Amino acid sequence: MSSIATAPRDEAAEDGLPSPYLLFLGDTVEPGYAKTAFGLRDWVGERCVGEFTLPGARVSTGLPRLAPRQAVAAGARGLVIGVANAGGIIPRTWIAGLVEALEAGLDIISGMHARLADIPELKAAAERTGRRLIDVRTPPKGIPVGAGVRRSGRRILTVGTDCALGKKYAALAITRGLRGRGLDVDFRATGQTGIMIAGAGVPIDAVVSDFVAGAAEMLSPAAPPSHVDVIEGQGSLLHPAYGAVSLGLLQGSQPTAFVVCHEPGRAEILGYAGHAVPSIEAVISATLALGRVTSPDIRCAGISLNTGKLTPRAAQAEIEAVAERLGLPAADPMRGGPAFERLLDACLA
């Protein structure tokens, strides 16, 4: 995937992040928090040799379970923290396993908010072994505040009814689909996993709030009218904690079109018991109202449904029902087919 080179890589090798990867899942029990590991497995699986879990983990990518030394013997160069938990913290229960990886000869790559070198045990182990601690979730320097000036080019933003339900997958699939039609398209990564996949981007939720819109403008600058930027969405406008980053990304991106991502059957916002997932209709309404501040002609192109938990028949029924209810194209990008082709058509309308 090509993208704008805005992700700082001061600690990384000249040829990019050290791969192949060993995916670290820690002691994670919630699949939604392991989206980094799943994203790397699904989009750059050729660069993943296996997974490393700790006692108590109930999540697996299905890749071979390897200890760090076994992974090194299999060719791994870097351990990627494959978890994106609430707050981006590195629990104390992970430290021994991460030290083990350094001692086995692996660099550590993290997309967490917590900085690896701020953990004394990791810093000492890295210095002792000569390994690197690479923090991907580091914004570039010199981000301006948003200007709100209209700019050329077409931009498609994925938005969601919640976190961790397919905004990145939808953006990657749309990019791949449009590129397959011969269009000039770039995937613009805004999260740690997207950056690891694309090789560049801006970790938008690590940007100081006053500069989020400016960072989005940097990420998807003015372009020829025929060029399309597909921008990875973050959070949800109606999320009780992460709505602010979604708003800044929306208004800075100035999307000409957006795709709403939703997981059928998810009743509560992930990690926020008692907070119901907003309806697709509510997200469309909010996105149109707030997006018009910088993009007066913004429109909803359609709906991306994450039907991974449904049977093929149930998924097809859900896709058809949503499309009929809303009068918009609906599809599961990972299932493809005619429904997804109609969604691509709508993105370009």
Mean of the per-residue pLDDT values of the chain: 93
pTM of the entire structure? 0.86
How much is the pLDDT for 11? 38
Give the other-Cβ count within 10 Å of 176's Cβ: 15
- Average pLDDT in the 141-158 region? 96
How much is the pLDDT for 17? 86
- Average pLDDT in the 184-190 region? 97
- 12: confidence class by pLDDT, cuts 50, 70, 90: very low
Which domains are delineated in the chain? 21-135 (3.40.50.720), 154-348 (3.40.50.300)
Residue 271 has pLDDT above 90, yes or no: no
How much is the pLDDT for 155? 98
How much is the pLDDT for 14? 38
Q: Of the ranges 85-94, 127-136, 261-270, which one carries the lowest mean pLDDT score?
A: 85-94
